[in-house]
Structure 1
């Protein structure tokens, strides 16, 4: 195990520690540990916390950041798939679809509340991009001529969507409902089908 990994493990188990304490635990020099801590700070995995402990200069402690979570095992995808299997087994496909529909309607209420007063595509889309980014989709928007695109560069529910494509169907329907009074929404790229991202085209409704 690399020294940086050992430091992360120690901070996870013991909480904030000083460079001196880490050095003693790892049988390294304090200077050597500080170099590893600096590397971890550069990658955003650790942060510093200066504490006043009696007289003299504050004591510097090192603590993990939210970013450091990527270094630890996360079985949420496995759990999600297990839950989908359980819902399908107990309640059948109809029960699973009801769950997905409920998720869609809850999101629709939340998104529409955030879009109150947004009457044009760019404003509404900008709000949607922020909402989706907050949920982990790494969303961006583009405009090519008079056509707009919602681009989602990551899918935090990929495991669930792979197991049950109705999650993807539901999300497309959600976007269509959000713009149904001013635009037509279609999916042009799909991560589940091997694309690098999910891309949704948003076109102004043309009156005939």
Structure 2
């Protein structure tokens, strides 16, 4: 297995990692790993996120982009599409919409149990990003002046969403409902439409 393939495999299994950690596990120098990471970044296979360290410079963590999904076999994608088609065949489009609505309500209940404990918008967004990351969306929150961005670098339901865009509509609707008392939410980048990630623009309500 090539070194770049080993790196992708490690990031897939362990999540975001530093060049130092990758070097230690692969038996390479940190400089050598950084060269591989640069090549992978140029190819669109990885992205990085700098996190504040207790001392010194921020620590750079690397993670995979959704583009690398094609490198891994996923039998669940075909099953997901088959299940969607079965629901449509047996219950019609209305039945599929009810399934999506049920999923949306269940997620809303779960999210609210966490977000309701947070008082300000930023804390709510951070909590939401943590939940979404646990679900496989690789979510982060950034701020530009008075505007927040909820970024999701991965879509674990991509196969379902590609086959039925109402899954994506449902997810945007969830965010809008969860934060409606605090902000306006819109999706500015969309993986299904060819973007590298899904990016949600969050504009705080005027007081």
Give the structure-1-normalised TM-score: 0.65
Question: What's the counterpart of residue 101 of structure 1?
Answer: 101
1:171 equivalenced with 2:164 (yes/no): no
CA shift for structure 1 position 134: 0.3
Question: What's the counterpart of residue 110 of structure 1?
Answer: 110
Summarize the alignment of residues 181-196 of structure 1 with structure 2, pairs less than 5 Å apart: 181-196=181-196
Secondary structure at the counterpart of residue 155 of structure 1 = coil
CA shift for structure 1 position 121: 1.1
Q: Which of 1 and 2 has greater Rg? A: 1
Distance in 2 separating the partners of 1:101 and 1:170:
7
Distance in 2 separating the partners of 1:196 and 1:72:
18
Give the structure-2-normalised TM-score: 0.65
Secondary structure at the counterpart of residue 151 of structure 1 = strand
Distance in 2 separating the partners of 1:74 and 1:182:
38
Q: Gaps spanning 5+ residues in structure 2: where?
A: 2-22, 28-69
CA shift for structure 1 position 72: 7.3
Distance 1:148 1:72, change over 3 A: closer
CA shift for structure 1 position 71: 8.9
1:92 equivalenced with 2:95 (yes/no): no
Question: What's the counterpart of residue 122 of structure 1?
Answer: 122
Tell me the matched-pair count. 145
CA shift for structure 1 position 118: 1.0
Q: Gaps spanning 5+ residues in structure 1: where?
A: 3-38, 44-69
Distance 1:42 1:133, change over 3 A: same
Distance in 1 separating the partners of 2:201 and 2:81:
29
Distance 1:194 1:73, change over 3 A: closer
